[in-house]
Amino acid sequence: PVIHREDYRPPDWLVPDVALDFALDPAATRVTARLSVTRSGAHNRPLRLDGDGLTPLAVRIDGEPQADAWRMDGAALMIDLPGDAHVIETEVEIAPEKNSQLMGLYASGGMLCTQCEPEGFRRITFFPDRPDVLSRYVVRMEADKARFPVLLSNGDRTDGGDLDDGRHWAEWRDPFFKPTYLFALVAADLVANRDSFATRSGKEVELAIWVKPEDLAKTEHAMAALKASMAWDEKAYGREYDLGEFNIVAVADFNFGAMENKSLNIFNSRYILADPDTATDVDYDNVAGVVAHEYFHNWSGNRVTCRDWFQLSLKEGFTVFRDQSFSADQGSAAVKRIEDVRALRASQFPEDAGPLAHPIRPESYMEISNFYTATVYNKGAEVIRMLHTILGADAFRKGSDLYFDRHDGQAATCEDFVTAMEDASGVDLARFRLWYSQAGTPRVTARLEHEPAGGQARLTLEQGVPPTPGQPSKQPMPIPLRVALYGEVTGQTFGGERLVMLEDAHQEILFEGIGERPVLSINRGFSAPVTVVADRSAADLAFLSAQDDDPFARYEAMQQLMVDTLVRAVALGEGDHRPVIEAVQETLRNAALDPAFIAEAVLLPSESFIGDQMPVVDPVAIHLAREALRRDLGQELEDEWRASYAKTHANRYEYTPPAKGLRRLKTVSLGYMAASGAPDASVIAFRQFRDADNMTDRQGALGTLVNSQWAERDEALKLFYDRYRGNDLVIDKWFTTQALSTRDDSVAAVEALAGHGDFTLANPNRVRALVGAFAVNQKGFNDLSGRGYRFLADMVLAVDKLNPQTAAKLIPPLGRWRRFDEARATLMRAELARVLATPGLSKDVFEQASKSLG
């Protein structure tokens, strides 16, 4: 059954108040729900209460037990009601410890916790499980006090006490109306890192991060990030926290990153726990980013929520934009932008170019869990960023104030957001709305011509949006392009930067007073999520990589130079490496640059990104061409790599932006020293691995060792395993590092690792660490034997039996078959067909596999 956006109908019945009573037990939890329901509008349709795997043990209407006033419609409970307001009570029993889907109420490492977004609440109790039904919740829960001393839910704890038989109870009330997906409950034996935050209006908020006792020392960074987020949202958006308590709980088994349940955020422990010995700088950054993301949802998501799941990007795109802006303010904004664009190109561009392409506001779905995608999240954030660019910071802020004001307490739509921006700014955004309805990455062609005589330059821009499933032809989109022209000789811009709005399929822009040959700098700061094809010579790209005053544009010029070189090398089997080597040398020698920026700028584009630029992906040729360029860069610039390694080596550990930048450059330099084939590289790598006083350096060295044939390689892997055995988050890194190995034996190694005693299908982090990581290993996964594809399909089928959501997320790499040669495409299709032919498939996997096969 396919659900269509166009079919939206407001709810027939509302549930202003709900009281839930949980008699908690991992094996059998009794849930009693009392719903006050009111008829909405004039109709005589029954009350429909969604359920998933629930059997009603009792149904009472206005206090009277009922045997036949209700019926089941599939998994839903239907009740015909005579009046316009009733109290409905239901009782069900659920088994959290048998819940391997990790949706609804489940057990993880001895604790009980919930995940309800998007449709997990219906696995807990019968309810209209849709985000436009908003209720006030009172939650009573009881549990064994010794096993579950901590009992948490949304809002404030209002009562509690001891019971007979060693049990205890607690009552929580959330004064804010919320949809089911924001409900949460935790019963556990945890300790808290406690702190407090004074809001700008002087309210004291009690903060707590709940973890296992042995993890308490790893919560400082998350706590600091939480307080920084609370202050930032007040300053940047005028948004203050609205309750007396804010709790975060870390759990080891979690389908996603984290969840913004009202005042009770539940996190995958990998986005909370961090200390220098076990977390890399990237992990630290991710912890802060996700803590901020979930906190920001309190306004963009909770106070203003989504009318239906087609509006998911309303909260996710906006909240990702907010967390990206927060992180940019904490350190180097330039490096943050480079990282975000790299992530977009790695995950969203392929989605937009493949069989699963969808607009940021999808038109239909079989299973909404499959739409928590890079498109809805990351392209969604780029769309909000474009609004910010087009309207300017002040008008954007007026628009967000109006949006929060107008829709506080409501379930809103993407349209409501754009309308608020329009009303506050006075800017007509009619055509901009195409970004919500059209899928596919626009392709912009730019050509710059100079007439020296008249001192004029003409910029010709053309755009096209490629066809995507269900959308064969597209309209031109409004594309904001930040543009500057640089004088080739003076190195100065002509009049600085300007914002060009490309609205039409074809547009020409005239620049006057251009006295020398201009070099085009375009899509600066990545102002639009598009692919720009501007035929610029290697010399022009080298010039921009050294001169452009927009750091992103500088990075981009270097990337383009590298991509051009590599694409040519793959096509012709050879290439001139000189321009890249000289540009990298210039960047490395530039003492005025931030080391963190240098480290990003000198990295070669990934094998998958190179493949995305080619008509047919040849993973072997791409690997060889890229390795050849890496080797030449390593050899030709050996002195520079050694110098930058030496400069960064003595740096004492601290988690600050400058120290992070030095560590990044250190490991990048190590990689090039290894690529050069220098005889002492193995010794240097092993020394870095062994002597590191932090995980960034240790894992950085291990990442170099693991690709090598050196004797030290296996020893390092063993030392790493022995040192961290039992620490799940670090053992995940051990799996991932090997899954990403570029050695010829990586397929065999990954198959063997799936049989390792520490591998389990039950923990999503572990599945992603091995299987998810291997699927992005271009060389290993695309091995011509087809073993990589077969392994992935085997894993999809095995995981689907336990956890359909996690299984479905593994499928997209197989859907890229159209991009490959006939032999590989045939193998990939065969695996998708095998998955589809398997009986008992979840609808999550069915939707992804059938769309991927096409």
Site map for ligand ARG, 800-829, x if CB under 6 A? -----x------------------------
DSSP per-residue string spanning 775-803: TT-HHHHT-TTSHHHHHHHHHHHHHHHH-
Local structure of 109: helix, strand or coil:
coil
- Tell me the closest approach of the beta carbon of residue 260 to ligand ARG, in angstroms: 5
Candidates 254-262, 348-356, 405-413, 540-548 — which segment interacts with ligand ARG by CB under 6 A? Answer: 254-262
3-state class percentages of the chain: helix first, strand second, coil last, to nearest 5 = 45, 20, 30
Count the site residues for ligand ARG by CB under 6 A: 12
Report what 372 binds from Zn ion, ligand ARG, none; CB cut-off 5-8 Å by kind: ligand ARG
Cβ closest to ligand ARG, residue 778 vs residue 805: 805
SS (H, E, C) 502-555: ECCCEEEEEEECCCCCEEEEECHHHCCCCEEEECCCHHHHHHHHHHCCCHHHHH
Cβ closest to ligand ARG, residue 337 vs residue 809: 809
Q: In angstroms, rounded to a whole number, what is the distance separating the alpha carbons of residues 790 and 771? A: 12
State which H helix or E strand residue 601 sits in.
helix 595-601
State which H helix or E strand residue 666 sits in.
helix 657-675
Contact 730, 766 (CB under 8 A): no
CB under 8 Å to 571, separation ≥6 — which residues?
A: none
Burial of residue 592 (CB within 10 Å: 0-12, 13-18, 19+) is: exposed
Point out the catalytic residue in the list 117, 294, 316, 712: 294
Which member of 29, 348, 369, 699 binds ligand ARG (CB under 6 A)? 369
Cβ closest to Zn ion, residue 316 vs residue 352: 316
Report what 325 binds from Zn ion, ligand ARG, none; CB cut-off 5-8 Å by kind: none
Cβ closest to ligand ARG, residue 259 vs residue 828: 259
Position 258 contacts ligand ARG (CB under 6 A): yes
Site map for Zn ion, 265-304, x if CB under 5 A? ----------------------------------------
Residue 130's CB: how many other CB atoms inside 10 A? 23
Cβ closest to ligand ARG, residue 322 vs residue 698: 322
Position 372 contacts ligand ARG (CB under 6 A): yes
Tell how far CA 93 is from the center of its chain: 34
- Tell me the closest approach of the beta carbon of residue 273 to ligand ARG, in angstroms: 18
Position 294 contacts ligand ARG (CB under 6 A): yes
Site map for ligand ARG, 302-341, x if CB under 6 A? --------------x-------------------------
Q: Examine the residue annotation and report whether 516 is marked as an active-site residue of this protein.
A: no
DSSP per-residue string spanning 65-80: E-SSSEEEETTEEEE-
Pairing of strands 104-108, 111-115: antiparallel
**Rg for the chain (alpha carbons), in Å?**
28
Candidates 137-145, 251-259, 510-518, 718-726 — which segment interacts with ligand ARG by CB under 6 A? Answer: 251-259
Q: In angstroms, rounded to a whole number, what is the distance separating the alpha carbons of residues 154 and 175? A: 9
Cβ closest to ligand ARG, residue 697 vs residue 844: 844
- Tell me the closest approach of the beta carbon of residue 376 to ligand ARG, in angstroms: 10
- Tell me the closest approach of the beta carbon of residue 296 to ligand ARG, in angstroms: 10
Position 769 contacts ligand ARG (CB under 6 A): no
Which member of 256, 310, 555, 641 binds ligand ARG (CB under 6 A)? 256
Q: Pick from 754, 749, 752: which is nearest to 771 by CA? A: 754
Q: In angstroms, rounded to a whole number, what is the distance separating the alpha carbons of residues 14 and 38? A: 5
Cβ closest to ligand ARG, residue 116 vs residue 420: 116
Candidates 124-132, 231-239, 318-326, 695-703 — which segment interacts with Zn ion by CB under 5 A? Answer: 318-326
Report what 256 binds from Zn ion, ligand ARG, none; CB cut-off 5-8 Å by kind: ligand ARG
Contact 126, 90 (CB under 8 A): yes
Conformational region of residue 369, where left means phi above 0, alpha means psi within -120 to 50, and beta covers everything else: alpha
Interface contacts to ligand ARG, rule CB under 6 A: 117, 255-256, 258-260, 293-294, 316, 369, 372, 805
Return residues touching Zn ion (CB under 5 A): 316, 319
The catalytic residue positions are 294
